[in-house]
Amino acid sequence: MKAQEALIAATRRLKEAGIEGAPGDARRLLAHALGIGPDRLTLALHDPMPEDAIGRLDLAIAAREAHQPVAQITGKRLFWGHEFRVTRDTLDPRPETEILVQVALERPFVHVLDLGTGTGCILISLLKSMPFAAGTGMDLSPAALDVARENATALGVVKRAKFQQSDWFSAVPGRFDLIVSNPPYIAQAEMDGLSRDVREWEPHSALTPGGDGLDAYRAIARGAPARLMAGGRIVLEIGPTQAAAVTDLLAEQGFEQIETRKDLDGRDRVILAHKPGK
């Protein structure tokens, strides 16, 4: 069997399972099964499928038929131009979150704290782009911290990165001039509306804090002033309807120059604010 025929059969299976974007997913999973980058797939389509690749593709397609996200199946996701390892213990890095990285890089910083680091994609991308900075990634999940540490090592920033298991700020030492976070922000009542891919496969602790979806922002806004240096910044990802509420939470804690930034779809996506001083 040629790879081309395997691709056609895989695409059909995914379509029949009701997977949106079946053709693209089938290509990524075929490239994964062949052990090549998706950019090299077209050339490989006329070659015969090796026996072991047939088995790997079958497993991958079965996982996708069960709605497992492609990044979890391949174990990797490109974010900010870097390849991150992704597992069931981490949120799959989203392209919208690159906006947060971009906003954080608008001004230089030396010590950054990433709250709920997951794969470490935000912290590690910031350290890659800011060669003299160092940072701490915290997470409640030890399994996520293992993934983040692995990514920091693979991407060559582990000497500038510390990882700390903590409940928000409780076990995080030190002061920072930048705090970043993409916290869980989906309201409990909205969890049912998520796609099956997300709802059944991604860690709920990374998606929702329960209740109205704002509890993580409450904890972060309350704890951040004591951990920021005067004039320090906080940059947070938000859900598209949360700008006003999160602005209020930050203002109540004395933050100033609070601004909202939009994602490429024109939805509010990032809030930044400053601790007074300097």
The window from 101-109, 169-177, 183-191, 226-234 that contacts ligand GLN (CB under 6 A) reads 183-191
Q: Rounded to an integer, what distance in angstroms lies between the CA atom of residue 265 and that of residue 190? A: 20
Closer to ligand GLN by CB, 38 or 210: give it: 210
Mask: binding to ligand GLN, 137-156, rule CB under 6 A, as x and -? --------------------
Cβ at position 35, least distance to ligand GLN in Å: 29
Q: Rounded to an integer, what distance in angstroms lies between the CA atom of residue 110 and that of residue 131? A: 9
Q: Rounded to an integer, what distance in angstroms lies between the CA atom of residue 102 and that of residue 99? A: 5
Mask: binding to ligand GLN, 86-115, rule CB under 6 A, as x and -? --------x---------------------
Closer to ligand GLN by CB, 203 or 223: give it: 203
The window from 35-43, 59-67, 180-188, 260-268 that contacts ligand GLN (CB under 6 A) reads 180-188
Comparing CA positions, the residue from 207, 202, 238 lying closest to residue 99 is 238
Closer to ligand GLN by CB, 186 or 273: give it: 186
231 known ligand binder: no
Closer to ligand GLN by CB, 39 or 192: give it: 192
> What is the identity of the amino acid at 175?
R
Cβ at position 39, least distance to ligand GLN in Å: 27
Q: Rounded to an integer, what distance in angstroms lies between the CA atom of residue 224 and that of residue 211? A: 22
Mask: binding to ligand GLN, 185-204, rule CB under 6 A, as x and -? xx-----------x------
Number of residues that bind ligand GLN (CB under 6 A): 8
The answer to whether residue 168 forms part of the interface with ligand GLN (CB under 6 A) is no
116 known ligand binder: yes
Closer to ligand GLN by CB, 41 or 194: give it: 194
Cβ at position 254, least distance to ligand GLN in Å: 25
Q: Which of residues 141, 182, 242, 253 is near ligand GLN by CB under 6 A?
A: 182
The phi and psi torsions of 260 (rounded to 5 degrees) equal: -110, 140
β-strands 268-274, 176-181 pairing? unpaired
Q: Rounded to an integer, what distance in angstroms lies between the CA atom of residue 111 and that of residue 98? A: 19
- Closest residue to ligand GLN using C-beta atoms: 185
Give the residues lining the site for ligand GLN (CB under 6 A). Answer: 94, 182-186, 198, 207
